[in-house]
Amino acid sequence: MTRALWIIQILLALVFLFAGGTKLVMSVAEMNAGGAMPLPGPFLRFIGVAEIAGALGLILPGALHIRPGLTPLAAAGLTIIMIGATVITAMTMSATIALLPFTVLLLTVLVAYARWRVHPLA
């Protein structure tokens, strides 16, 4: 179970590093093109920074053995972000497309719960 959790954490970290980096690199006009993310620019930048911080929080505490209790908190914070992403995707696109952020949401919930209760990092 611990190996599976680490694999999920690494994959989630890669997803959130990519998503957060994209939000920081792209212009606001590019992100809002096509109505995909109808959100204000500063808020999109904030979410990008939060995604990158969350990605680092999924990996670094356990890898460095410094404050391992931050990993479930990072996963919980990313869960909140993914709730918003799922709702916005369902509202602006379709429920079928919203299954992707919903799947990531379920994985963040799994990591948060498992690292908090089932297999906490020592």
The pLDDT profile of the chain, 122 residues, written as one tens digit per residue, is 789 999 999 999 999 999 999 999 998 888 877 666 678 889 999 999 999 999 999 999 989 989 988 999 999 999 999 999 999 989 888 889 999 999 999 999 999 999 998 877 77
Q: State residue 119's pLDDT score.
A: 74
Half-sphere exposure of 56 (CA within 13 A, CB side): 8
pLDDT at residue 9, rounded to an integer:
96
Residues 6+ apart with CB under 8 A from 13: 55, 56, 58, 59
For the entire predicted model, the pTM comes to 0.89
Contacts of 54 (CB under 8 A, 6+ apart): 16, 20, 74, 75, 77, 78, 81
Burial annotation 55-79 (CB, 10 A radius, 16+ → b, else e): bbbbbbbbeeeeebebbbbbbbbbb
Residues 121 and 74 sit within 8 Å (Cβ to Cβ):
no
Amino acid letter for position 42: P
